[in-house]
Structure formats: structure tokens, C-alpha cells
Amino acid sequence: MGRSARQQVIADLAALKQEFSADFMIVNVENSAGGFGVTPDIADAVLAAGADVLTTGNHVWDKREIVNYIMKEDRLLRPYNMVEATPGNGHIIVENDKGQRLAVANFITNLFMAENDNVFTSLDQFLGKVRLGRDADAIFIDIHGEATSEKTAIGFAADGKASAVIGTHTHIPTADHRILPQGTAYQTDTGMCGDYVSIIGMQPEAAVGRFRGIPQGRLEVAKGEPTLAGVIIDTDDATGLATAITPFRRGGALSQTS
């Protein structure tokens, strides 16, 4: 969320990958350019820092120059269930130096969001096409949306068919990280990388003014020390299902994880 968090992620990503012995790193970048969208230069920088796949959400098109970029860079995803003929791709399968295959899919929910194809129908289509074990050794789903109930329902719809279903969009980390009954790791929202002395990453004064109906200037990204928020997923090499899910929070105003 904004420059300071973006710079911190870029600076720390390689070290975090080594610290956690991560086989793959996924970063949601949809608010990385001043809080609204992502630019080609930013996407390139995050990929160069060590990210394997970049996901987005409803702000993916906020910077017009990203349209041509996303048609050439398959590692930058837009939501899978955007209408047919939308530029870019909603999923990718990447392979690391060990030969491990990770499928990453990006979906956007329907409740309280702009109109897109039905997320459950699209999810079924994707999971029918990309099978755990056959097509990928692990499957990660970024589910971008507002309603906690809808995101939880998507987790159960994918349970046993995906390694992890992790929510984004609300910018607030939830405390419901767990492994669902059939082996899929789930969290309703992993939170933002950004300054939490803010209102979802924006300076409080203008945001409060909007709620009061009293204009206080344009929304600006908060510039204090960012908290890096994320989640670590461990999977079984034999099944691709999750064996552990561990929240990650470091720096800034939120309580820290080890």
C-alpha cells in the first residue's frame, strides 16, 4: 500500500525468502502505486526482488499503462472471473529450480464489488482444469473481496482441491487462519503491507472527513512505518495439501509474529 510499504517489501523480499526457506513468494500489488493500482516499473521491481507471481484485484486497471504490460507479463495476474476478453490472465503455473510446480489463481468476489462473472462458477471451472497433483504440486488461490461469509464459502468450495485459499482486499489481517477439514489452508484476509496508523492505508483525516460528509482534501497514503503482513503456507509434497498456515506480521503498529 503505497511507496514506503512497496520499498520495504522490495528491500526485504529476498531475505524473507531465505529466512523462511520459501519455495515460492506471491505478492499482491494492486495498491502499490500511490495506493491505486500498479505500474510496469513497480511490477518489474517486485519480480526482480524475488516474487514469483503478482496478484491484484479491483484496482488492477487504475494505472492505464498496465494494460499493455499485463498482456506480455504472465506473472502479473488479474482476477480470473473478470469478463471474457479482459486483458491478461487469471492464473499461471510457475516452476522453480527444484522442479516444483505452483499454480496461482486470482479471483474477485461478487458481493459489494463491481460486476464480474460468478466467482463460484469460475472457481469450479478453474479447479476442473488445474488439478492438484496432476497439473501442479500446489495450488494457491488469492480471493479478493469484501464479505467474510462469501470468502469463507469459497474456502470450503475449494477445500481438498487447493493448497491454500487466502483473502485480500480489506487491508485488515483476520485471526481465522486454519486448515479446513479436507486440507486447504485458509485465512479470510492476510492484511496489507502498509502503515496501520491509518484507515486502510490512507491518512485518517481525509478518510474520516469522507465518512462525516465533510471534505478534508484528497485521500493520501499514510507515510509512517509500514507493517509487512502476510502468511506462510507449508504443504505436503505427496498430496499438495496444507500442513501448516502461519500469519506473518513485522514492523510498524501491529502486534508482531515470530
Residues with catalytic roles = 59
DSSP string, the chain: -HHHHHHHHHHHHHHHHHHTT-S--EEE-TTTTTTS---HHHHHHHHHHT-SEEE--TTTTSSTTHHHHHHH-TTBB--TTSPTT-SSBSEEEEE-TT--EEEEEEEE-STTS---S-HHHHHHHHHHHS-BTTTBSEEEEEEE-S-HHHHHHHHHHHBTTBSEEEEESSSS--S--EE-TTS-EEES----SB-SSSBTTB-HHHHHHHHHT---SS--B--SPPBEEEEEEEE-TTT--EEEEEEEEESTTSPP--
- Contacts with 203 (C-beta within 8 Å, 6 or more apart), sequence order: 219, 220, 221, 222, 223
